[in-house]
């Protein structure tokens, strides 16, 4: 028995060593790929130019030949290289080179919200001040093997329409810790928050319907609503949350079906609605018969006992959206909706008809990460990083005389208002010429008004970039 145990332990140790070795090797493959990708894109390696041989490259980079082979294979798969048997590897002469000037023009003209989204999905600018995603430098510490122990059927079959049940059980427990009572049958999983909004729009709205949104607010939602021909009416966002007087006035006038908002960690301002404001919103929702869609993207960074509208009314007038894109990975497209059981059943049917199902594999992986405590340990590291970045950035911006309108809380965002004579779109254009990506405030407003202050949304993780700081100092000279 002892011998057998020792044999198993030995196998486990060997597997662990092999997994570590493989991770290191793949990291080197990535580095080499990115090195040649940069050289080719910058035209330092010309079309038809021959690369060093596999043997020479392995000596130059001090890696194995297999590592070079894999890096070259990736470069060929990406269209950067061509292979000539017996001759070696050459820069692909037919490689289409994008025009940076053209790409920058498309982004910085910022004629619609799709322009900003495109720059986030297809980055062309190096300094990412306007990015909305979790910064890679903060997330790289959270590095887990994506392999899971799952029945063979689940790897090749479909996920149930409502999502992986054990994951929904854990989500139910997490909601309970936030004061929200929702059984697993009151939760449907989604491909992130945007998919959740899409399902809600499909369930509630038809062309010509009116919805209320935060102003400034979550810009991808505005494009989505326009796509469905929904009328969008903005409600000004104040320091303590949505303007209650304006909300009532517009609810009374437009009879909206939904109010899309973010109580905590608001995007783009970083601010949060107070308990009093949340309570007033619910009273108006009941009085004027509309539902509140509350996107709680940064939920896991906030204390569980913090006031939330969904906890105040127990999902009566509130439809609650959660996601792991902000706190785990933008690539992990797993989110969820919590609401009344009848509504969730209807949303799961829409999900089934439009997408068939969400990813069973990803949901099982997320379940393991949540259940074994790894995600909790990650949050314990991430929270202080955000807090430190907030304090350091606020102090820096104060010295630079940049006006931060809202006090951010456990969010990646700051809303910086510019001078009265400054044009945020023009500022973004000028920044792009210096390889800096800014998110102009104009795009975060559902309605273009002269009264909208000129502003930019700043991602805290990049706020101390020297190039950005110097650009902001020089802009008024």
pLDDT in tens, 288-344: 999 999 999 999 998 878 889 999 999 999 999 999 988 887 777 899 999 999 999
Regarding whether 422 and 302 lie in a shared domain, the answer is no
Q: Are 385 and 412 in contact (CB under 8 A)?
A: no
Distance CA 246, CA 305 (A): 29
Regarding whether 185 and 123 lie in a shared domain, the answer is no
Regarding whether 394 and 360 lie in a shared domain, the answer is no
Regarding whether 383 and 365 lie in a shared domain, the answer is no
What are the angstrom distances between the C-alpha of 273 and each of 32, 264, 418, 448?
A: 47, 6, 23, 24
Q: Are 298 and 264 in contact (CB under 8 A)?
A: yes
Which of 324, 345, 376 finishes a domain?
376
Q: Are 427 and 418 in contact (CB under 8 A)?
A: yes
Residue with tokens 């491909």: 191
Query: What domain range is 231 assigned to?
Result: 165-376
Query: Does a structural domain hold residue 149?
Result: no
Which of 359, 376, 393 finishes a domain?
376
Enter the tokens of residue 198: 């899409």
- Mean pLDDT, rounded, for 128-136: 79
Enter the tokens of residue 182: 């929702």
Per-residue pLDDT tens over the stretch 177-195: 999 999 999 999 999 999 9
Regarding whether 118 and 67 lie in a shared domain, the answer is no
Per-residue pLDDT tens over the stretch 366-425: 998 888 888 888 888 888 889 999 999 999 999 999 999 888 888 899 999 998 888 998
Distance CA 225, CA 333 (A): 21
Regarding whether 356 and 401 lie in a shared domain, the answer is no
Regarding whether 386 and 356 lie in a shared domain, the answer is no
pTM of the model as a whole = 0.74
Which of 336, 353, 376 finishes a domain?
376
Question: Environment class of residue 235 by beta-carbon count within 10 Å: exposed (0-12), middle (13-18) or buried (19+)?
Answer: buried
Query: Does a structural domain hold residue 212?
Result: yes
Range with the lowest mean pLDDT among 70-74, 189-193, 200-204, 468-472?
70-74
Closest among 381, 394, 364, 385 to 461, alpha carbons compared: 385
Strand 318-323 and strand 291-295: pairing? parallel
Query: Does a structural domain hold residue 7?
Result: no
Regarding whether 236 and 118 lie in a shared domain, the answer is no
Q: Are 330 and 354 in contact (CB under 8 A)?
A: no
DSSP assignment of 71-132: HHHHHHHTTSEEEETTTEEEE-TTPPPP-HHHHHHHHHH--SHHHHHHHHHS---SB-TT--
Regarding whether 60 and 195 lie in a shared domain, the answer is no
Angle, alpha carbons 427-429-434 (nearest 5°): 95
Regarding whether 264 and 254 lie in a shared domain, the answer is yes
How many independent structural domains does the chain possess?
3
Band of pLDDT at residue 281, cut at 50, 70 and 90: very high
Regarding whether 186 and 220 lie in a shared domain, the answer is yes
Query: Does a structural domain hold residue 387?
Result: yes
Query: Does a structural domain hold residue 107?
Result: no
- Mean pLDDT, rounded, for 252-280: 95
CATH of the domain at 330: 3.40.640.10
Regarding whether 394 and 349 lie in a shared domain, the answer is no
Q: Are 108 and 437 in contact (CB under 8 A)?
A: no
């Amino acid at each position: 028995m002892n011998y057998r145990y020792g044999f198993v332990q030995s196998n486990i140790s060997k597997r662990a060593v092999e997994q570590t070795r493989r991770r290191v090797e793949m990291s080197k493959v990535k580095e080499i790929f990115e090195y040649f990708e940069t050289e080719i894109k910058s035209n330092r390696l010309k079309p038809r130019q021959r690369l060093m041989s596999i043997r020479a490259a392995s000596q130059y980079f001090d890696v194995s030949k297999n590592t070079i082979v894999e890096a070259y294979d990736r470069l060929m798969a990406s269209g950067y290289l061509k292979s000539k048997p017996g001759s070696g590897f050459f820069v692909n002469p037919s490689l289409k080179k994008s025009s940076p000037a053209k790409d920058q023009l498309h982004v910085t003209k910022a004629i619609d919200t799709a322009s900003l989204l495109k720059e986030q999905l297809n980055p062309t600018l190096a300094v990412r001040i306007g990015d909305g995603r979790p910064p890679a430098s903060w997330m790289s510490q959270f590095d887990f093997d994506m392999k899971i122990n799952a029945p063979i059927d689940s790897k090749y079959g479909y996920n149930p329409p409502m999502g992986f049940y054990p994951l929904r059980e854990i989500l139910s427990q997490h909601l309970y810790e936030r004061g929200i009572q929702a059984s697993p049958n009151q939760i449907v999983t989604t491909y992130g928050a945007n998919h959740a909004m899409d399902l809600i729009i499909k369930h509630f709205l038809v062309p010509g319907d009116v919805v209320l949104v935060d102003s400034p607010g979550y810009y991808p939602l505005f494009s989505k609503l326009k796509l469905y021909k929904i009328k969008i009416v903005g409600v000004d966002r104040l320091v303590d949350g949505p303007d209650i007087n304006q909300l009532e006035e517009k609810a009374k006038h437009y009879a909206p079906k939904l109010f899309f908002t973010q109580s905590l960690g608001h995007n783009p301002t970083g601010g949060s609605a107070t308990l009093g404001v949340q309570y007033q919103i619910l009273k108006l929702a009941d009085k004027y018969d509309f539902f509140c869609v509350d996107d709680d993207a940064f939920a896991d960074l906030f204390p569980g006992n913090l006031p939330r509208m969904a906890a105040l009314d127990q999902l009566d007038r509130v439809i609650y959206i959660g996601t792991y894109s902000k706190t785990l990975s933008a690539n992990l497209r797993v989110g969820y909706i919590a609401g009344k059981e009848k509504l969730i059943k209807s949303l799961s049917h829409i999900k089934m008809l439009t997408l068939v199902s969400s990813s069973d594999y990803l949901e099982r992986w997320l379940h393991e990460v949540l259940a074994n405590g790894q995600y909790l340990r990650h949050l314990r590291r991430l929270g202080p990083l955000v807090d430190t970045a907030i304090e350091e950035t606020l102090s820096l911006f104060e010295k630079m005389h940049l006006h931060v309108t809202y006090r951010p809380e456990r969010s990646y965002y700051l809303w910086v208002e510019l001078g009265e004579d400054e044009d945020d779109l023009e500022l973004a254009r000028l920044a792009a010429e210096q390889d800096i990506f800014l998110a102009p405030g104009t795009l975060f407003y559902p309605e273009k008004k002269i009264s909208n202050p000129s502003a930019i949304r700043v991602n805290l993780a990049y706020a101390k970039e020297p190039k950005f700081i110097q650009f902001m100092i020089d802009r008024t000279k």
